[in-house]
Homo-oligomer: A and B are copies of this chain.
Amino acid sequence: MKRKSGSERLDEFGLIRFLTERQPDNRSPSGVTIGPGDDAAVVKVTDGMELVVSCDTMVEHVHFKKETLSCEDIGFKALAANISDIAAMGGIPRFFLVSLGVSADWSDDQLKAIYNGMYELADSHRMTLIGGDTVSAGQLVLTITVLGEVEKGKALRRSDARPGDRVFVTGSLGGASAGLDFLLKNGKDQVVQKMSRLVEAHQRPVPQVKAGRLLNQAGFVHALNDISDGLASEAWEIAESSDVRIVLDPGNIPVFPGVEAYAREQNMDYMDWIWYGGEEFQLIGTVPATQEKQLKSLFDQNGLPIYFIGRVKSGETAVVLAGTGKDEHPLPRKGYNHFRG
């Protein structure tokens, strides 16, 4: 962890000390040869494994607001987004680096709380902070790089879907967007009991590392993607990169508990949240139809849900919705706009 020019204020705050004291150099977490405190970190990649690496940035006012996330939530969620990318390759997250840009309106305690949120999630995955830097900026900008491992040649790509596959998701959807809708209307200090699970789905989305590992170990999974940008966008990514046609059956898509009731109450269409909401971090992927049962029982044995929501065809690249009979309705490709509607 380096103190970087332009971060004198952070140095005063003792933030860097707080971070490095938590992981003193004389502790040697598994795989870490040199941790924070030198010019770069040095880590070992396990024999037989390749390195999986991703980085992702969360920006104040663009990806989150103080009104919707606590400081701990900000840290938790930023790291969750990165871990989710490793999970979507079927990998194991191991190490992370944090680059934090900070504006003057963030206090010492708030910054520590952001790191505590990260550590909470990191600890549950036995991940180690190995470096990063801190700089002054006009708003909070949090960039995390996650390093993980995957067995050589076994990473799951989004481009491997094939005609004849079945499409699956690893969990129910729409909760994060319903929670965000509530938070934007009420603020994070007005959460009532019956909304707590939806709000938590937005504030503390859980990356599906265990499911990703099961899918990797199954050995027969074709494509895999995480749902960070809405089901429509992610299905489109698989369809385009695999050059296939995906037919989804809306009736089979699992809806997060409480979403339908809240949508009714708000006079909104919850399917919009499922298609175009974001940051739920469930996984979407495809397997040969012949392996559907085997995958279902593998997930059952491990106490994890899995839902089959569509199929892969040849033909014009697209994502469409199954209708009655041979009808197919195109699913528009849109991304997730955090605070734009």
Residues on A close to B: CB < 8 A? 2-6, 8, 25, 33-34, 37-45, 50-59, 61-63, 84-86, 88-89, 91, 95, 97, 99, 101, 130-133, 135-139, 141, 143, 145-148, 150, 152-153, 155, 157-159, 225-226, 228-229, 241, 278, 335-338
Q: A6-B338, A41-B54, A56-B99 are in contact. List 11 more A-B contacts (CB 8 A).
A: A4-B57, A5-B338, A38-B241, A40-B85, A41-B53, A42-B52, A42-B155, A53-B145, A55-B143, A62-B136, A99-B143
Residues of chain B lying within 8 A (CB to CB) of residue A44: 50-51, 152
In the assembled complex, the CB of A341 is this many whole angstroms from the nearest CB of chain B, namely 12
In the assembled complex, the CB of A42 is this many whole angstroms from the nearest CB of chain B, namely 5
Assess the B57–A40 pair: CB atoms within 8 A: no
Given A137-B141, A335-B5, do A55 and B99 touch, yes or no (CB 8 Å)?
Answer: yes
Q: Would you list the 10 A-B pairs with minimal beta carbon distance, nearest first?
A: A40-B54, A39-B88, A143-B143, A39-B85, A6-B62, A145-B145, A45-B45, A40-B85, A138-B138, A42-B155
In the assembled complex, the CB of A230 is this many whole angstroms from the nearest CB of chain B, namely 9
Assess the B5–A278 pair: CB atoms within 8 A: yes
Residues of chain B lying within 8 A (CB to CB) of residue A89: 34, 38-40, 42
**Copy count, this protein chain:** 2
Given A34-B157, A40-B86, do A133 and B6 touch, yes or no (CB 8 Å)?
Answer: no
Residues of chain B lying within 8 A (CB to CB) of residue A95: 53
Residues of chain B lying within 8 A (CB to CB) of residue A152: 44
- CA A34 – CA B229 in complex, angstroms? 21
Given A5-B336, A5-B338, A62-B137, do A145 and B42 touch, yes or no (CB 8 Å)?
Answer: no
In the assembled complex, the CB of A201 is this many whole angstroms from the nearest CB of chain B, namely 17
What are 25 inter-chain pairs, A to B, with CB distance below 8 A?
A4-B57, A5-B228, A5-B229, A33-B155, A34-B155, A38-B157, A39-B54, A39-B86, A39-B226, A40-B52, A40-B54, A40-B85, A42-B51, A42-B52, A42-B89, A42-B155, A45-B51, A53-B97, A54-B97, A57-B99, A57-B143, A58-B135, A97-B145, A99-B99, A141-B141
Residues of chain B lying within 8 A (CB to CB) of residue A141: 57, 101, 137, 141
Residues of chain B lying within 8 A (CB to CB) of residue A2: 56
- CA A227 – CA B139 in complex, angstroms? 28
In the assembled complex, the CB of A65 is this many whole angstroms from the nearest CB of chain B, namely 12
In the assembled complex, the CB of A305 is this many whole angstroms from the nearest CB of chain B, namely 21
Assess the B5–A337 pair: CB atoms within 8 A: yes
Residues of chain B lying within 8 A (CB to CB) of residue A53: 40-43, 95, 97, 130-131, 145, 147
Assess the B59–A137 pair: CB atoms within 8 A: yes
Tell which of A43, A56, A338 has the most Cβ of chain B within 10 Å.
A56
Assess the A55–B97 pair: CB atoms within 8 A: yes
Assess the B138–A33 pair: CB atoms within 8 A: no
- CA A147 – CA B50 in complex, angstroms? 13
Residues of chain B lying within 8 A (CB to CB) of residue A38: 88-89, 157-159, 241
In the assembled complex, the CB of A19 is this many whole angstroms from the nearest CB of chain B, namely 14
- CA A97 – CA B95 in complex, angstroms? 16
Residues of chain B lying within 8 A (CB to CB) of residue A59: 6, 101, 135-137
